[in-house]
Structure 1
């Protein structure tokens, strides 16, 4: 269990004011975390952070000396939003997955301590692609999303979905579908995610059929080849034989 889950949050036993909220932000954006509003003169403000990898950071400001101090805060992307004597908020810019964790602001006043804790979750939108596979299958990917995306299809087919956990806590979802009814001309892949939904469509027919023409002064021969029955690889192997048949047919009709 992570330290930021074991660490006590803001509680009534310690603080006059307490609050814990959950905050979800997009990766590579700017986030500002605020301290509670105190009812009297502020003496000390302390930000205590426990990151997802169990490392920590402490930033503090004393109003009487107008001085700040830091402890194990090496990430330059995390700083005071402005001058701490004007604004106690903490800024993260840009947000990275590693910034996920628990951020607690404690404000010390003559009337007591005020606390606001933020459970920060970082969201990563997946990259969505759709392509035709072999033997009439279609593959939809939602790559490196956080959390994992959900994939559905229209029309519904015989589908198989797998998830791959990546090292940075993102997930790639791959859904492969096959339609027994070869009359399906277009399919759509719908990707549902907390960062936004996406839909991609692809035509099946252009990749599944081949048209062959041969014309003489008297007539044109039109051949319609269904590639699920005769794969394109076989057509390429037998192309010389096909052309020989077509030429023989041409001689017969001239």
Structure 2
């Protein structure tokens, strides 16, 4: 029996397993084949179909130990170990371009076994919180994937908008306004699968002009107080000296 006859799907049963794999950008990822001992395998084939890119193929024939690659060079995709021991794949420093479908098929005399991975890349957003005017603040979760969620404390009105980018990331911008005059600080809560963040800003940073005027008035008050003390000391010395000469 030749190789093509052994691997014809019409004559062999197919067992399939599908999974969704979430990996943070920059991390290394290992994609597993069906859990079979390599002593039963005849042939291992990886078909890689990144979204928006040409597919590539990596295969290993057990009896001849022959490895073939088609269109996979330069993608940072390698065997996790030697394929005769462990035919899993490893992606070094996962990037957005690695998103897509990864299928490992192992052919045996008893049938073919297929495992598919739907790889999604998570991108942590850059988070900022900036003061605005008239009791407002702006919280941004920049270029995250998927889009982050933003919540505020204390309760107040907020408008949240999203901006999608060509690479699949999303910037979320939330403008918050509170009515109370006695609020000492506001908090921005950013929720994302790569990790949650909490940012805060003090009221005197947000009130802007009011805070500046208050600071100027305090400085002016201190200076006037010092000037009054100096004048009092000089005046007291002057009158003492005048009384001395009268005597």
Whether the TM-score (by the shorter chain) exceeds 0.5 is: yes
* Equivalent residues in 2 for 1:179-218, closer than 5 Å: 179-208=178-207, 209=211, 210-211=214-215, 212=217, 213=221, 214-215=224-225, 216-217=227-228
For residue 95 of structure 1, what is the aligned residue in structure 2? 94
Shift of 1:196: 1.5
Shift of 1:47: 0.2
For residue 15 of structure 2, what is the aligned residue in structure 1? 17
Shift of 1:154: 0.1
Whole-Å Cα distance in 2 between the matches of residues 71 and 15 of structure 1?
A: 26
Pick closer, same or farther for the CA change 1:38–1:16 going to 2, 3 Å. Answer: farther
Contact 1:15 1:115 survives alignment (8 Å): no
For residue 236 of structure 1, what is the aligned residue in structure 2? none
For residue 121 of structure 1, what is the aligned residue in structure 2? 120
For residue 34 of structure 1, what is the aligned residue in structure 2? 32
1:100-132 per-position Cα deviation (integer Å, ceiling 9, x unaligned): 111100001111111111111111111111110
The two structures, once aligned, show a CA RMSD in angstroms of 2.0
List alignment gaps of at least 5 residues for structure 2.
Answer: 1-8, 231-247
How high is the TM-score relative to the length of structure 1? 0.77
How high is the TM-score relative to the length of structure 2? 0.79
For residue 138 of structure 1, what is the aligned residue in structure 2? 137
Contact 1:38 1:109 survives alignment (8 Å): no
For residue 58 of structure 1, what is the aligned residue in structure 2? 57
Larger radius of gyration: 2
Whole-Å Cα distance in 1 between the matches of residues 153 and 175 of structure 2?
A: 13
Contact 2:56 2:72 survives alignment (8 Å): yes
How many pairs align?
208
- 3-state SS, counterpart of residue 43 of structure 1: strand
Pick closer, same or farther for the CA change 1:206–1:104 going to 2, 3 Å. Answer: closer
Moved more, 175-184 or 64-73: 175-184
Whole-Å Cα distance in 1 between the matches of residues 191 and 148 of structure 2?
A: 6
